[in-house]
Amino acid sequence: EDFEIEVISASPNNISLHLFDSQRVKSHRCMRNDEYPSQLFLKIVRSNPTWSSQDNIPVERVDREFISCTRFGDCNPGSTLRPILCETDEVRNDGTKYMISEFISGNYDMYATQFRNGRVDTVAAGVLGKNLASFHVDSRSRRVSESLFSNRTFDVLYNNGFKKVVDQWKEWATAKDLEVDDHKIRRTMELYKKHPRYLDYLDDMMDSLRNPPDEIAACIHHDLHILNILVKDNYGDDTSDDLIKVVNFEYANWGPIGSDRE
């Protein structure tokens, strides 16, 4: 049997595809034990994508995504897509990797939609908090591979993401005379000049990301914004784990649990 393909998204980093058997999806035929799911999610992770011309993002990020997503689902059944396979593309033989998961079907929408509509139901937030706590506690009891989850694997994200932002903040805060038209930047400059100790706080915050104290460290999602959280439509009084679906564990790593507060 052949799958049809629908492109979900494409970027220099990843290509996400929806694979489906249209006949089985239309007929709502249930999957037997010896059958593949009628819908699959395929993420193709390129071996040398870049955020800038200087730095590569390690392809091993998809291995961390596979492990973290699997464990999140083990702790909270139904609360994320179920990973099936994570392998190297031996046909292209260029280091590209891919991850195959079950496709999230049914009536789910991004949590961001509720915020856009101005009507946010906090029931979903409570379920999300419980599921995250289970994931964090479980990871502390059986820490995953040091080679995949460590501050070394966090360096690219740290150097090209957070550190660049913080360095920009510091430049604004210490500039004696910086001509800017942006009100937000100027307000930021004024705030930091009045509270210079905040710069020390930024340094401490960045260090805790890479070297979190044991008492606050766990396996974290680290990209947990409202676009990566799906909420079931019209859930009423439902508070089961599958009320929400957490997706996109690509930046999961070992770090401070406070990073998942978003």
The structure tokens listed for 240 are 């089961």
Q: What per-residue confidence (pLDDT) applies to 252?
A: 87
Q: What is the mean pLDDT of the chain?
A: 76
Q: What is the pLDDT of residues 144-163, one digit of tens each?
A: 666 677 766 666 666 666 67
- Higher-confidence residue of 45 and 207: namely 45
What does the pLDDT average to over 49-67? Answer: 70
pLDDT-above-70 percentage for the chain: 68
Q: What is the pLDDT of residues 94-117, one digit of tens each?
A: 778 989 998 887 788 888 888 888
Q: What per-residue confidence (pLDDT) applies to 72?
A: 93
Q: Which of 46-60, 86-100, 135-149 has the lowest mean pLDDT?
A: 46-60
Comparing CA positions, the residue from 161, 153, 156 lying closest to residue 64 is 153
What does the pLDDT average to over 214-222? Answer: 86
Quick check: 27 pLDDT over 50?
no
Tell me the torsion sign for CA atoms 201, 202, 203, 209: positive
- Higher-confidence residue of 234 and 8: namely 8
Q: What is the pLDDT of residues 125-134, one digit of tens each?
A: 888 999 999 9
| pTM, 2 dp | 0.76
Binning pLDDT at 50, 70 and 90, where does residue 55 land? Answer: low
What does the pLDDT average to over 158-175? Answer: 69
Number of Cβ within a 10 Å radius of residue 40 = 19
d(CA 66, CA 77): 15
Q: What per-residue confidence (pLDDT) applies to 180?
A: 58
Question: CB under 8 Å to 49, separation ≥6 — which residues?
Answer: 11, 12, 13, 14, 56, 57
Read off the amino acid at residue 110.
Answer: M
Pairing status of strand 4-10 against strand 14-20: antiparallel
d(CA 20, CA 100): 12
